Amino acid sequence: MIAHTFFKHKKIFGNFKVLAVFLFFSINSILAQIDKNATAETKNLYHNLKSLAKNKLIFGHHNTVGMGIGWRNKDTINWSSDVNISVGDFPALYGFDLVDGMSYQKEQVKKIFRQGGIITYSWHIQNPVTDGYYGDKRGDAMQNILEGKPYHNKWKAKLDEIATYFNSLEVKGIKVPILFRPFHEHTNGHFWWSDSSISNKTFREVWEFTIRYLRDECNVHNLLYVYNPTNPIKKGGLNDGKYPGNEWVDIISFDLYWGGEDVSKSILENSKAVVNFAKKNGKIAAISEAGVGQGLQNSKINNWITTCILNPLKNDSIAKEISYWLTWRNLKKNRYWVPLPSYPQHKDFMRFYNDEMTLFHSDLPNMYTNNYYCKK
């Protein structure tokens, strides 16, 4: 179970080594968050993410309480995590996907919120035209779900379903804030929403309608919207006309997977590009997914995490403003992204965990209030 009494509180509450004092919201931080009717907790989360990004990196792990190496869990009350097995702490950011089972995830999400964790959701939604899986690129789906098109009402029904779910995430009358990442990796060509035949105009229109419908028609006010191209240095998504606009995005991120070699240069270049673009537009920058392709076991260097993630971000004045890094879920012994204690990369992951820059669950201040402060 998640229990703060087992945490080390190594960087914020114990050693007081986080930021300068933040006493007030800046005007830019308030204006940058796009839902003016967002809940207070959602607005506070946005502001606190932006504040911590000055010199801290939040660590996230996808499906961390749902599965790990050699185990699966749908228990809504008691769970473990391979992150906890590895370092004795939980990730600060918990990744979920809407297609993995909202019914049991609901109680998990609510408990994480009660314990002060941060929650993010992606959406591997099936093709709304063919009803095929998310990699089925037939049917010109993005064009056909636009307003006035044949599958528009079907798309609205899908949005109604997730809106009902997001609005049901409530603890003692407080809606749980969520970092929502729709149409993720939309420049990689792998999904029905990322095919190269989709025009920038079509993508922007679908994105805008989706956010506007959830926010203004379904009255979902506990979401921060994460824009997420893949490898923008090589595949675009920032300055090529695909970006939907500042009124439709809260967080600007990127995803990137590699073969296991030293890719610190790629991480640095993409991070700097995203941070610069985010700052220019008054947004938060993040790495929504990154890791070794098909799992950390394929790494060709023994210190991949610190070499390719921590050091490039920590040692660059621009890249260090990446707010968070999430890596993918642990599936089995030959496909994992968080190493267990007996695994070759474990010592390196412990170095990452113990670094002053990184934040795990026990290190977080109260992310949902507007009056926390931390002393460096």
| Core vs surface per residue 167-178: b (16+ CB within 10 A) or e | eebeeeebbbbb
Q: Which CATH superfamily is domain 4-363 in?
A: Glycosidases (3.20.20.80)
Percent of the chain topping pLDDT 90 = 86
Q: What is the pLDDT of residues 228-251, one digit of tens each?
A: 999 999 999 999 999 999 999 999
Coil, strand or helix: which one is 317?
A: coil
Other CB atoms within 10 A of residue 150 CB: 12
Encoded tokens for 110: 């609510």
> What's the mean pLDDT in 162-188?
98
Rounded Cα gap, residues 118 and 320, in angstroms: 20
Q: Which amino acid is at 172?
A: K
- Report in angstroms the alpha-carbon separations of 263 from 86, 258, 301, 304: 24, 7, 10, 9
Provide the residue ranges of all domains of the chain, joining segments of one domain with +.
Answer: 4-363
Contact 70, 332 (CB under 8 A): yes
HSE value, Cβ hemisphere, 13 Å, CA-based, for 142: 23
Predicted TM-score of the model (pTM): 0.92
Residue of 89, 79, 97 whose CA lies nearest to 329: 97
Per DSSP bridges, beta strands 67-68 and 71-72 are antiparallel
Residue 32: its pLDDT value, please? 61
Residue with tokens 């990796």: 185
Rounded Cα gap, residues 122 and 359, in angstroms: 22
* DSSP-derived secondary structure for 240-258: SS----GGG-SEEEEEEEE
Least confident of 12-21, 102-111, 142-151: 12-21
Q: What is the pLDDT of residues 20-46, one digit of tens each?
A: 333 333 334 444 689 999 999 999 999
Residue 229: its pLDDT value, please? 98
In terms of C-beta density within 10 A (0-12 exposed, 13-18 middle, 19 or more buried), how is residue 153 classed? exposed
Rounded Cα gap, residues 358 and 87, in angstroms: 13
Residue 131: its pLDDT value, please? 98
Residue 11: its pLDDT value, please? 55
Q: Is the pLDDT of residue 301 over 70?
A: yes
